[in-house]
Amino acid sequence: MGAFLCASAGTAAGEPPPRPPNCTAADVAGVSAGVAAAVSTYLFTHPEANGFFTGLQGQPRDQMRDDVDNYVNANPQVQADLRAIRQPLTDIRQRCQWTPLLGQDGATP
């Protein structure tokens, strides 16, 4: 029994510290879902931006990046709006020191 307790204590000491409150995968997913819904609403109510981002489909990643840079430079309000919409996700990732998981590469507009 003593060997088990020592082994368990050694494992516990090597574990990372607990995450701050409200930093579970469910919390991050909930914020992510809210941001995704807000981006969707924004794009539906801004047809020009929706058309631009829709038109990126199928382009090589490098070309897409250049096109997005050019678009947001020419449309700073769209850039500011989308940055503000995504801010809650940026905030929770920073506060929780969250590494994006598979499928969360931040590639949303």
The answer for residues whose C-beta is within 8 angstroms of residue 54's C-beta and 6 or more apart is none
> Is residue 11 in some structural domain?
no
> Is residue 2 in some structural domain?
no
Cβ contact 20:95 at 8 Å? yes
> Is residue 1 in some structural domain?
no
pLDDT for the residue 31: 96
pLDDT for the residue 14: 74
pLDDT for the residue 94: 92
Domain count, the chain: 1
pLDDT for the residue 105: 55
User: Which residue shows structure tokens 């020191």?
Assistant: 97
**Owning domain of residue 59:** 49-97
> Is residue 86 in some structural domain?
yes
> Is residue 38 in some structural domain?
no
> Is residue 93 in some structural domain?
yes
User: Which residue shows structure tokens 């990046």?
Assistant: 65
Structure-token pair, residue 64: 């897409």
Per residue of the chain (109 residues), what is the pLDDT tens digit?
Answer: 555 555 444 455 678 788 889 999 999 999 999 999 999 999 999 999 999 999 999 999 999 999 999 999 999 999 999 999 999 999 999 999 887 665 555 544 4
